[in-house]
Structure 1
Amino acid sequence: MSVISRVLLGLKQDRFFLALLAGLLIFSVVQPARIASYGTLVDWPTIAALTGLLLLTKGLELSGALHALGRTLVESMGTERAAALFLVATAALLSTVLTNDVALFVVVPLTLRVCTITGMPATRIVIFEALAVNAGSALTPIGNPQNIFLWQRAQVPFTDFIWHQLPLVASLMAVLLVVTAMAFKGRRLAVLAHETVSLDKRLLVVSALLYLPFLIATDMHQAGWAAAAVLVLFLVLRPRVVADLDWGLLLVFVLMFVDLRLLAGLDSVNQLMRGLGLEQPTHLYLASIGVSQLVSNVPATIALAEFSTDWRVIAYGVNVGGFGLMIGSLANLIALRMTDDPRAWKVFHLYAIPALVVATAIGYALLFL
């Protein structure tokens, strides 16, 4: 199957993409004069930064290095509690540099294999990993798409963004690790099987060495050129990385920019949003959380950025908004779909809704008290 065919097949099964496409068609019929301006509605530096990061993380993933390292470390864990803490902490750590979605694609398959050979409760661990990547990815400008967007839009230094987010992330992770330790038993692990993972050393070295220069170039607002260079290099050295990239995901983000900015331009929406008093930081914070629960935190970020330039409050709100309902973050949907457990949706909310309450209180205290 060709790359285009695979992307189209995936998009046909992606309800979120189909909803965005339907919205675009409606706007095109209602406001045909705006069709020519669609390209200007997309934040291309954000798309370029996301493309480069997806390419580099796909290279690391396909090299086999992360799976090999994770397998070795997990097999060295003595108890179920230790393994759960390691997997949750690893998911959070990876999400700070690989984005929350990519971290799940690396950790969840490993987790499911570990649970198969040890008898650990797979669904519960994956749910905690989803919560972990939502918390961990909030730390850095490259941890998730909403942070990438806010970072590019605000044009603040990489380290300033991290320093602002650090108190929130440290608090959330402390609570999450304590709850994880309480939720899993200290029984001895019995690893029943081993698997051999091939390592593509050349791909590993290239992906790892490119990572820092790409971040520096992006921090200097040269994400477009940096992403183009990474793309060309992989096309020459390892075309499979480019072929396996989630191009459909990038298209989804392009559509989100267009749809939400068209929506934000409607007079009725402007009146509604202005009626929320978003010039007040407390209102903006709570609105960021609430809108995230309705449309997911990435679209919420794009929409709210049209009404406020206070990236600090929005960053806290939309990252907290990743908890709660499963639609709050696309990472939640990815994790739950990968478990292949019909009960996962119910179990997820038993943990995620209380997590939203706690995270909201922590974020409010850090911002305003």
Structure 2
Amino acid sequence: MHRLLLIPARIAARLRQDELLLILLLLCVGFTLLHPSAVTSYPQLVDWPTIAALAGLLLLTTGLEESGFLQHAAFHVVTRMHTERHLALLLVGVSALLATVLTNDIALFIVVPLTLGLHGMAQLPTARLVIFEALAVNAGSVLTPMGNPQNLFLWHRSGESFGRFVAEMAPLAAILLGTLALFTCVAFPARRIDTHEDIAPPPLGRRLLWVSLALYPVFLLLLDAHQPWLGLALVSAVFLVAFRAVVREVDWALIVVFMLMFIDLRLVAELPAVRDAVAAIGLHDPQRLYAAGVLASQLISNVPAAILLAEHSDQWRVIAWAVNVGGFGFLIGSLANLIALRLLGDRRAWLGFHFWSLPFLAVVATLVWLWLFVARGGA
């Protein structure tokens, strides 16, 4: 009985520590109070395959982290990089490259834990590195259909070939990555990295490492075959049998955050006022469509924005460019931003993220507009 009484107190304490979870929960409660009968439709708003994929990835990355592998990798990175700028450019480049083939979310689950492992080895601006990794995966993911969810949705909707889609998105990727490289050089000085005197690679749990690494490609193949639940079942069974302690270390609250995000953001996108406003903008004009995509992403995130705009316009290329640009700026612009800061676990980083992301949005939104409507003479 005493333990049961402690559960509400633990939940309340968790909500006080996790502002994002609290905000999403309160928003969901608000929608429920306004339309109680809509509660039964909430499960249909959640993208359950994405939830299954996220849960499997959390298990696998937690396994890698608990094995000590990421800390080992961090040790070798930090001992070979001479300046903060070199290290930042390396991590930004790796993040962008991984995002083109593994999606932006998966890239973060690999790179951010590795970056956090650097914290105990050298005096580094870890939060700023993670912020730029979030920018990097958003920039790198624009190139391919599998890079992010909005690209995958618009690619299927467009009917274009894989190669044609990549060719259409390549100029945008070049603009974003080139600008990000300049921002990275400004944000990180050419200051020598000072490693701690007692730095040494941590112990390595080889059995847990090899099992986690072996499961990774199998899980990704199952995701590619549109079998996320089978992949989650496989990974969960292995960890529950062989590494139950890893299951307890997973940040399961992140799953709840994503479920609430799907519900809240889709409810916002379906509000009559939102849909009427979108319909009244005049989306037949490519410049208005571009502006609407960037701005809508700042309000409801870029995936719901892509879905909403695609219902009012068949100009998939302009929508794709707009919502990918809209992934920068405010934190809610892209789910990848939320994942990165969630993995970082530093609430103060919210301000730091916007310090860099908002100017980045202003610059790239202008450059992309010039490319689309001035240099190219229109979309």
| TM-score, normalised by the number of residues in structure 2 | 0.76
Kindly indicate whether residue 33 of structure 2 is the aligned counterpart of residue 29 of structure 1.
yes
Cα distance in structure 1, aligned partners of 2:190 and 2:223:
44
Displacement of 1:218: 2.0
Displacement of 1:69: 1.4
Displacement of 1:247: 1.8
Q: Per the alignment, do residues 45 and 203 of structure 1 end up closer, same or farther by CA in structure 2, a change over 3 Å counting?
A: same
In structure 2, the partner of 1:289 is: 294
Cα distance in structure 2, aligned partners of 1:366 and 1:212:
38
Cα distance in structure 2, aligned partners of 1:236 and 1:162:
42
In structure 2, the partner of 1:355 is: 360
Displacement of 1:268: 2.6
The more displaced of 266-275 and 126-135 is 126-135
SS in 2 for 1:228: helix
In structure 1, the partner of 2:227 is: 222
In structure 2, the partner of 1:112 is: 119
Displacement of 1:294: 3.1
Displacement of 1:26: 2.7
In structure 2, the partner of 1:67 is: 71
CA contact (8 A) 2:268 2:274 kept: yes
CA contact (8 A) 1:234 1:242 kept: yes
Q: How big is each residue's C-alpha offset from its partner over 1:89-134, in whole Å with a ceiling of 9 and x where there is no partner?
A: 3444455546365356414423433542xxx555654543343233
Q: Which amino acid in 1 is paired with 2:47?
A: D
Q: How big is each residue's C-alpha offset from its partner over 1:271-305, in whole Å with a ceiling of 9 and x where there is no partner?
A: 12222344655444432321232344456456656
Cα distance in structure 1, aligned partners of 2:235 and 2:164:
26
CA contact (8 A) 1:115 1:122 kept: no
Kindly indicate whether residue 259 of structure 2 is the aligned counterpart of residue 258 of structure 1.
no
Q: Per the alignment, do residues 180 and 211 of structure 1 end up closer, same or farther by CA in structure 2, a change over 3 Å counting?
A: same
> Quick one: which of 164, 172, 177 aligns to 1:168?
172
> Quick one: which of 189, 200, 214 aligns to 2:205?
200
In structure 1, the partner of 2:248 is: 243
Kindly indicate whether residue 82 of structure 2 is the aligned counterpart of residue 78 of structure 1.
yes
In structure 1, the partner of 2:239 is: 234
SS in 2 for 1:274: helix
Displacement of 1:150: 6.9
The more displaced of 46-55 and 121-130 is 121-130
CA contact (8 A) 2:168 2:317 kept: yes
The more displaced of 188-197 and 252-261 is 188-197
CA contact (8 A) 2:91 2:111 kept: no
Q: Which amino acid in 2 is paired with 1:37?
A: S
Q: Per the alignment, do residues 345 and 19 of structure 1 end up closer, same or farther by CA in structure 2, a change over 3 Å counting?
A: closer
Cα distance in structure 2, aligned partners of 1:339 and 1:242:
19
> Quick one: which of 138, 142, 155 aligns to 1:134?
138
CA contact (8 A) 1:323 1:353 kept: yes
CA contact (8 A) 2:115 2:126 kept: no
Identity of aligned residues (%): 47
Displacement of 1:44: 1.4
CA contact (8 A) 1:293 1:327 kept: yes
Q: Per the alignment, do residues 66 and 364 of structure 1 end up closer, same or farther by CA in structure 2, a change over 3 Å counting?
A: farther
Kindly indicate whether residue 279 of structure 2 is the aligned counterpart of residue 274 of structure 1.
yes
In structure 2, the partner of 1:324 is: 329
The more displaced of 208-217 and 177-186 is 177-186
Displacement of 1:254: 1.5
Q: How big is each residue's C-alpha offset from its partner over 1:126-158, in whole Å with a ceiling of 9 and x where there is no partner?
A: 543343233235456666676677789999999
Displacement of 1:42: 1.8
The more displaced of 309-318 and 207-216 is 309-318
Q: Which amino acid in 1 is paired with 2:178?
A: A
The unaligned stretches of length 5 or more in structure 2 are: none
Displacement of 1:356: 0.9
Q: Which amino acid in 1 is paired with 2:241?
A: V
Q: How big is each residue's C-alpha offset from its partner over 1:147-172, in whole Å with a ceiling of 9 and x where there is no partner?
A: 67778999999988767655433442
CA contact (8 A) 2:78 2:87 kept: yes
Q: How big is each residue's C-alpha offset from its partner over 1:318-338, in whole Å with a ceiling of 9 and x where there is no partner?
A: 332232234434655676685
The unaligned stretches of length 5 or more in structure 1 are: none
Q: Which amino acid in 1 is paired with 2:293?
A: S
Q: Which amino acid in 2 is paired with 1:54?
A: L
Cα distance in structure 1, aligned partners of 2:40 and 2:371:
44
Q: Per the alignment, do residues 238 and 7 of structure 1 end up closer, same or farther by CA in structure 2, a change over 3 Å counting?
A: farther
SS in 2 for 1:113: coil
Q: Which amino acid in 2 is paired with 1:42?
A: V
